[in-house]
């Protein structure tokens, strides 16, 4: 069995999903580490101290610890962290000396953690694996409102070319990284995400609507951080084209105080279009309560310009709620473009939704309406099971272990 160091320094793995710097990465880390712990491995999830009363070590699940190390810099935003990374390297080394522990590998998540992991791996002489989760260059190219700094882009390129292995969750992201950095195919490994089917599963849609105060409405759900790359303007512009008699409510879950400017922009857009009464910003919702929202929804919409994977899609499908999504992340693996054949399958609840390869609001409105018209009840259970058969955390953990074993034999 192995002991592994997972780094997530800019965002705590137990932070609230949908806040500014916390999203699918936290779910990914909890899911993967939990499955590895169940298999008998030991995982220490390293993050920064974010509060004065925070315990240095906290057990999350069997074999998995959250280790909050203090670099002495106090509360910092993600964009302020880079100059303090050497202090974080020293703080992690000090913790390991005090605990008298060593690791078989380092798994860095996001570029800032990658910079720390790179330095630790030099001293510890262990493999260094990196998962970027998002790429600065991809965000900038996909959405003109994004402006990731040159420092991030340069460090991501260095990490891509120097790490022992890059991990991605979707084939599209593997292709992107290989093309960006001229890597060999075997340098990038696809390990798909999992979804917790015990938490995310179909419930009574009428009951879920009642509990969320959405009875009598067709509910269009969007979940995630509130930032330009998520493309929520497209969803709002599509919503204005839906018939008033459909009684549509667009529910956007996510965002915190750091997202206030972007939320205000979206509210202004909705007001300008005359549909403020159709748009609900629910703010942050506890992870354990998300299934209630998925089950209250008639369709989940993911209008992102760019996603590196897209856990929201798996969670929605696990609850039996169909998707409308763009051609990014894992969505082309789950959905097919709208054709007569997919339309027929939709009417029989045999299709998980619609993939769109454009950003034309009328096309998105049509796809959204087709889904909520034909899916007044959840997807057929056989469809859910077939699609999600390979998307579980144990499968991801087994793939991760096989990769480590391959690296140790090289």
Two tokens, residue 272: 């300008």
pLDDT digits (tens, 9 = 90+) for 173-206: 999 999 999 999 999 999 999 999 999 999 999 9
Strand partners, 354: 324
pLDDT digits (tens, 9 = 90+) for 12-57: 888 655 444 556 788 999 999 999 999 999 999 999 987 776 778 9
Closest to 345 measured CA to CA, from 327, 366, 370, 318: 370
Two tokens, residue 103: 């690791």
pLDDT at position 372 is 94
Mean pLDDT, residues 220-246 taken together: 96
3-194+392-409 belongs to CATH 3.40.50.2000 = yes
Two tokens, residue 150: 């040159």
**Can you tell me which residue has the tokens 């991990």?**
167
Question: H/E element holding 53?
Answer: none
| Domains of the chain, residue spans | 3-194+392-409, 205-388
Q: What is the pTM of this model?
A: 0.93
C-beta pairs of 48-51 under 8 Å, 24+ apart in sequence: 48/9, 48/10, 48/12, 48/76, 48/81, 48/88, 50/12, 50/75
pLDDT digits (tens, 9 = 90+) for 310-320: 999 999 999 99
pLDDT digits (tens, 9 = 90+) for 348-389: 777 899 999 999 999 999 999 999 998 878 888 999 999 999
pLDDT digits (tens, 9 = 90+) for 238-290: 999 999 999 999 999 998 888 899 999 999 999 999 999 999 999 999 989 99
Mean pLDDT of the chain: 93
Angle at 253 between CA 135 and CA 300, to 5 degrees: 80
Two tokens, residue 267: 């509210």
pLDDT at position 16 is 59
Rounded distance, CA 388 to CA 382, Å?
A: 10
- Decide if 50 contacts 68 (C-beta within 8 A): yes
- Decide if 222 contacts 232 (C-beta within 8 A): yes
Strand partners, 223: 253
- Report, at the CATH architecture level, how domain 205-388 is classified: 3-Layer(aba) Sandwich (3.40)
Residues with Cβ within 8 Å of 274's Cβ and at least 6 positions away in sequence, in order, are 240
**Residues found in the chain:** 410
Closest to 293 measured CA to CA, from 332, 326, 253, 324: 253
Share of the chain above pLDDT 90, in %: 82
Closest to 156 measured CA to CA, from 174, 132, 139, 133: 132
């Amino acid at each position: 069995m192995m002991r592994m160091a997972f780094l997530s320094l800019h965002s705590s793995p137990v932070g609230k999903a949908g806040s500014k710097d916390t999203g699918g990465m936290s779910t990914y880390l909890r899911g993967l580490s939990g499955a590895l712990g169940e298999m008998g491995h030991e995982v220490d999830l390293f993050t920064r101290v974010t509060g004065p009363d925070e315990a240095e070590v906290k057990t999350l699940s069997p074999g998995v610890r959250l280790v909050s190390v203090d670099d002495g810099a106090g509360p910092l935003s993600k964009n302020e962290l880079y100059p303090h990374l050497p202090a974080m390297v020293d703080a992690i080394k000090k913790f390991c000396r005090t605990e008298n522990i060593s690791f078989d590998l380092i798994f860095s998540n996001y570029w800032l953690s990658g910079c720390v992991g790179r330095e630790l791996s030099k001293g510890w002489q262990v493999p260094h694996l990196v998962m970027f989760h998002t790429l600065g260059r991809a965000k900038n190219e996909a959405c003109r409102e994004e402006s990731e700094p040159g420092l991030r882009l340069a460090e991501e390129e260095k990490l891509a070319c120097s790490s022992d292995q890059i991990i991605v969750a979707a084939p599209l992201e593997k292709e992107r990284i290989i093309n960006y950095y001229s890597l060999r195919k075997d340098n990038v490994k696809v390990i798909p995400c999992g979804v917790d089917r015990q938490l995310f599963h179909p419930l009574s849609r009428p009951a879920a609507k009642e509990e969320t105060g959405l009875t009598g409405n067709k509910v269009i759900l969007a979940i995630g951080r509130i930032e330009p790359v998520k493309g929520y303007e497209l969803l709002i512009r599509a919503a204005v084209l839906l018939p008033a008699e459909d009684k549509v409510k667009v529910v956007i879950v996510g965002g915190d105080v750091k997202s206030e400017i972007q939320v205000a922009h979206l509210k202004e857009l909705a007001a300008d279009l005359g549909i403020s009464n159709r748009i609900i910003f629910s703010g942050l919702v506890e992870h354990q309560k998300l299934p209630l929202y998925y089950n209250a929804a008639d369709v989940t919409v993911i209008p992102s310009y760019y996603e590196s994977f897209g856990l929201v899609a798996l969670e929605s499908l696990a609850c039996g709620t169909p998707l409308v999504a763009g051609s990014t992340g894992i969505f082309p693996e789950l959905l097919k473009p709208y054709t007569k054949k997919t339309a027929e399958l939709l009417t029989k609840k045999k299709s998980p939704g619609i993939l769109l390869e454009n950003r034309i609001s009328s096309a998105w409105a049509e796809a959204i309406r087709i889904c909520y018209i034909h899916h007044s009840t959840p997807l057929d259970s056989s469809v859910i099971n077939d699609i999600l058969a390979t998307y579980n955390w144990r499968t991801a953990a087994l793939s991760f272990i096989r990769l480590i074993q391959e690296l140790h034999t090289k």
